[in-house]
Amino acid sequence: MTQAFSRRVFLGTGLAALAAPALAGPPATSLRPVARPAHGAGRLAARGVPAAEALISSADLSGQVGYALVDPTTGTVLEEGNGAAALPAASVTKTVTALYALDTLGADHRFETRLLATGPVENGVLRGDLVLAGGGDPTLDTNALAGMAAGLKTAGLREVRGRFLLWGGAVPFRRAIDETQPEHAGYNPALSGLCLNYNRVHFEWKRQGGRYAISMDARSDRYRPDVTVARMRVAERAAPVYVYSDGGARDEWSVARAALGNGGARWLPVRKPELYAGEVLATFARAQGIALPRPAVMTGTPSGTVLARHRSAPLAEILRDMLRHSTNLTAEMAGLAASARRAGRAVPLGQSAAMMNAWAAASLGMSAAALRDHSGLSDRSRLTATDLARGLAGARRVALLRPLLRAFELRDAQGRVLRNHPVQVQAKTGTLYFVSTLAGYIRTPGGKDLAFAIFTASDSLRARIDPQADARPPGARSWNRRAKTLQQALIERWSAVYG
């Protein structure tokens, strides 16, 4: 029965892709197995299950590989290789952030965005200021602002005699999550307590004769309001493709004509999030017959009567989407909200990451956690495989996190998804150039649950990367493919040995 199972699982999969040459090669990294399976190595080899060291050697990955496998029932480390090495965490950081936010805020926590009146509303006229006050909601979108504008009309507002103020102080402003990333990367927007559309603006272009028609808007599935807070011009150059400059009240962009082709679209990061949200709200207010003054950003803590509000979905739903789509802004905002709750005030990103490290050490036993943010975008963030696998293995944490993780699809040697594979994996991936990480849970065909973490990283190859370059570094795609093949091979090996 065992031999039939191993053939059924492994034939044509990632393990098969590595196993044949692996049995002959030396280990690529120093490994320290903590626990060995009861079966002897010879017995495993006879079943077609190579050693982890052999799989790593066959993967031919320059750099380091660290892995750990933990039994959640007993807390026993079943296998560990280079598990104490502090390696770039990439987006598996988000698993720690999710647990931190759930533990601090609770699964039912909702973020709230409010429209406040600082004076009375008499006969439809607000004799005071109108304040759009962000509550750190990472999911606030154009549809929500349209609903809030409708709420102003329902409240009887027709005119504002005071100012239109914007408040994002629930989160300290930061112009980008990680300043080393390309300026035009949509996954690296500004942080503020007032965010809209993940702080991204939609840029679209179409060739019309010898010219280009350009739009910048805050589109959703229902609306497409144009914005002026982000502006684009076509520049007569071949490279770089995008250039950003701070225009004071605007994000000023230029794009190389040579890169445009006949047409296309992409999301660009917003660096002035409060003004972006304010402009879109004003557009919808006008549609409701309410003219708002020019918006201005305020610094103090707002107060007043609530005229309209928007509440987010429960935190557990937000984190599920964050883990499944790896949304950096959501991770940062959730982590910052958790730290603000613990500190009793908003704290900067670096301090918030340090607070999460201390929490991970105290609550998860992750004494080596050295994260610089909540998303893993910074390549200076470090975790160890053994720390993370142990941290994920706690019974309560399995129950909290596993339902939020997406299914990790196992593939054959040609990269095709294997339907109805007997091994079930819920996990979070993480990818930077020459960094590939994976952590989560395995359920074997026999119903055995296992927690694991696999880190692969090459500092020497990363050192050659131009962080502002548009093109993928040479060799990055094939390196990443080999790393993912190794990850699957280790998962299949563990299922066969410990399942």
Q: Are 260 and 241 in contact (CB under 8 A)?
A: no
Q: Taking 60 as the threshold, does the pLDDT of residue 158 lie above it?
A: yes
pLDDT tens for 382-401 read: 999 999 999 999 988 999 99
The burial class, CB within 10 Å (0-12 / 13-18 / 19+), for 32 is exposed
Q: Taking 50 as the threshold, does the pLDDT of residue 11 lie above it?
A: no
pLDDT tens for 441-486 read: 999 999 999 999 999 999 999 988 887 776 789 999 999 999 999 9
Please report, rounded to a whole number, the percentage of residues in the chain having pLDDT higher than 90: 84
Residue 245 backbone dihedrals phi, psi, to 5 degrees: -140, 150
pLDDT tens for 174-218 read: 999 999 999 999 999 999 999 999 999 999 999 998 899 999 999
Task: Compare 88 and 417 and report the one with higher pLDDT.
Answer: 88
Q: Per-residue confidence at 245, pLDDT binned at 50, 70, 90?
A: very high
What is the rounded distance in angstroms from the CA atom of residue 90 to the CA atom of residue 135?
A: 27
Q: Helices 328-343 and 349-359 meet at what angle, rounded to 10? A: 80
What is the rounded distance in angstroms from the CA atom of residue 356 to the CA atom of residue 89?
A: 14
Q: Per-residue confidence at 261, pLDDT binned at 50, 70, 90?
A: very high
For 441, residues 6+ apart whose C-beta sits below 8 A from its C-beta are 72, 392, 398, 402, 405, 425, 426, 427, 449, 450, 451, 452
Strands lying side by side in the sheet with 211-217: 211-217, 200-208, 263-269
The candidate with the shortest Cα–Cα distance to 166, out of 200, 136, 194, is 194
Domains with residue ranges and CATH for the chain: 2-106+316-498 (3.40.710.10), 112-311 (3.50.80.20)
Q: Per-residue confidence at 13, pLDDT binned at 50, 70, 90?
A: low
Residues, the chain: 499
For 53, residues 6+ apart whose C-beta sits below 8 A from its C-beta are 27, 31, 81
What mean pLDDT is predicted for residues 416-432? 92
The burial class, CB within 10 Å (0-12 / 13-18 / 19+), for 246 is exposed
Query: Three-state DSSP class for 70?
Result: strand
If you search the block for the tokens 């730290």, which residue do you land on?
339
The candidate with the shortest Cα–Cα distance to 439, out of 394, 416, 481, 405, is 405
The candidate with the shortest Cα–Cα distance to 50, out of 39, 62, 61, 66, is 39
List, in sequence order, every residue forming a beta bridge with 285; answer none if it has no partner.
none
pLDDT tens for 103-112 read: 999 999 999 9
What is the rounded distance in angstroms from the CA atom of residue 146 to the CA atom of residue 243?
A: 31
